[in-house]
Amino acid sequence: MAIRIKITLDPVRKLGRCNPAGVLATLACILTALTLTAPSTPGQKPDPSPDQQLDTSDVKGKTKKAADPPKKKRGTIIPIPIPIKSPTFGAGMILGLGYVFRLREEDEISPPSTVALAFAFTNSGTRGAVLGGRLYFAENKYQAAFAMGKGRAVYDFYGIGQRPGQPEVFVTLHQSGGVVFGEFMRNVGKNIFVGPRYQYRKLSVHVGGGEPVPGGFIIPPIDLTSTTASLGFHVQRDLRDNTFYPTKGSFWNIKADFFGKSIGSNRTYQTYRADYNGYKTMRKGHVLAYRTSLCSVSDKSPFYDLCLYGASSDLRGYTAGKFQDQRMFASQAEYRVELPYRFGLVGFAGVGGVAQRWKDLRFDELLPAAGAGLRFKLDKKNRINYRIDLGFGRSGHTLSMSVTEAF
């Protein structure tokens, strides 16, 4: 049976995934996205030469010397007021400030770095705050990311191993906690970055609604109050022509996290995730985007680290928390059309599935989805869109609103 669960989620854990399906995850994505939103810092004008200086001994009433050149700005402050709607966490707002700057002003190769503070809240009772940043330095030879946050989340959880066609029994989970996350990567050549990552979380969770739901999810005692810590690695290659609205190129990630008691975790387990995005211009103003993602976790993984179908926009049309298990795949394509007056339209479709083991995936249990969306360009220079997507799946539909494309 399926169970509806309200859960207070840990914001910092979502930073590692950057999952747009969640309010706090969307906030984390925005912190990362801000690294390229600031305009270039204007150059400083040279000091006037002695020949250009006014001679006050010869001219009465004139300025004694030329005006000082304008002072060069170190960086740019960007406000973050964004209304959002998540199928999982409800409707709300993200509020915050980002500061975009270059670590070394003479480094014109590295992208701008960002530090930001943001707050998120929704009508489901989800609340969270995140301080984070992404730093680029040494002429794009290195990049580092950090985040720390605290919050609570409330969402519906339908149990583990739910399949299409089964009765939908859900419980409301309230999960709260705090997280610290850090990552450091080096460019090893051909724009391939490789490096270690670390995260530490303290979480607590309980079922809301008072009386237990018959057939509903029961939280394992070890997860009522838990501490998780992991060391892992991240491999990434980004060949997109634009971070926010790519028209050509590709972007892929491989992430692995190893949780163990020796580094402070009360569980020992592993999580693995990989994704690939591709982009191709069909004609002017028309782009075909496609994405494939894979997820696998070990047997002793807690329920909140399972592969969540419908998270990370895989796929729109499903609420994260309805279908999850130890294995997941999702593949989708999206056709994007730019219209006059900053507007745009998209159509998308895809298919995926979840199972306890890869061999357990069945054709009649696949989870297809399709839908359409409206775009409005908030920033012409960086091509940043506000998006509204309506997706339809086997078990219903979802309406989501956020900033930047789904992938």
- pLDDT for residue 78: 76
Only one residue has tokens 């971070």, namely 243
Helix or strand holding residue 390 (H, E) = strand 384-393
What percentage of the chain carries pLDDT values higher than 70?
82
3-state secondary structure the chain: CCCCCCCCCCHHHHHHHCCCCCHHHHHHHHHHHHHHCCCCCCCCCCCCCHHHCCCCCCCCCCCCCCCCCCCCCCEEEEEEEEEEEECCCEEEEEEEEEEEECCCCCCCCCCCEEEEEEEEEECCCCEEEEEEEEEEECCCCEEEEEEEEEEEEEEEECCCCCCCCCCCCCEEEEEEEEEEEEEEEEECCCCEEEEEEEEEEEEEEEEECCCCCCCCCCCCHHHHEEEEEEEEEEEEEECCCCCCCCCCEEEEEEEEEEECHHHCCCCCEEEEEEEEEEEEEEECCEEEEEEEEEEEECCCCCHHHCEECCHHHCCCCCCCCCCEECEEEEEEEEEEEECCCCEEEEEEEEEEEEECCHHHCCHHHCEEEEEEEEEEEEECCCCEEEEEEEEEECCEEEEEEEECCCC
Q: Confidence class of residue 333 from pLDDT cuts 50, 70 and 90?
A: very high
pLDDT at 378 over 90: no
Q: Which CATH architecture has domain 11-39+74-403?
A: Beta Barrel (2.40)
Mean pLDDT of the region 218-227: 90
**Model confidence over 140-189: pLDDT tens digits?**
899 999 999 999 988 888 878 777 777 778 888 899 999 999 999 999 99
Q: Which residues contact 225 (CB under 8 A, 6 or more apart)?
A: 203, 204
What is the spatial distance between Cα 142 and Cα 107, in angstroms, rounded to a whole number? 13
- Mean pLDDT along residues 211-232: 87
pLDDT winner (highest mean) among 155-169, 194-208, 318-332: 194-208
**What is the mean pLDDT of the segment spanning 109-134?**
89
Q: How far apart are CA 32 and CA 36, in angstroms?
A: 9
**Phi and psi of 379, rounded to 5°?**
-135, 110
Most confident range (mean pLDDT) of 40-44, 215-219, 323-327 is 323-327
Q: Among candidates 327, 310, 332, which has minimal Cα distance to 319?
A: 310
Q: Where are the domains of the chain?
A: 11-39+74-403
Q: Are 330 and 313 in contact (CB under 8 A)?
A: no
Query: Span 290-314, mean pLDDT?
Result: 90
Which residue carries 């306890």 as its tokens? 356
Q: Does 260 have pLDDT greater than 90?
A: yes
60 pLDDT more than 50: no
Per-residue pLDDT at 68: 58
Q: Considering only residues 68 and 33, tell me which one the structure prediction assigns the higher pLDDT.
A: 68
pLDDT in tens, 387-405: 999 999 988 888 888 878 9
| pLDDT value of residue 214 | 78
- If phi > 0 it is left, if psi is from -120 to 50 it is alpha, else beta; for residue 111 that is beta
Question: In this predicted model, what pLDDT tens digit does every residue of 233-258 receive, in sequence order?
Answer: 999 998 998 888 999 999 999 999 99
Residue 192 has pLDDT above 90, yes or no: yes
Cβ–Cβ under 8 Å, residues 179 and 27: no
The segment with the largest mean pLDDT, out of 126-135, 312-321, 380-389, is 126-135
Least confident of 15-19, 269-273, 282-286: 15-19
For residue 74, name the pLDDT band (cuts at 50, 70, 90). Answer: low
pLDDT bucket at 360, cuts 50 / 70 / 90:
very high
**DSSP code of residue 35:** G
Residue 218 banded pLDDT, cuts 50, 70, 90? confident
pLDDT for residue 227 is more than 90: yes
**Which residue has tokens 């002695």?**
50
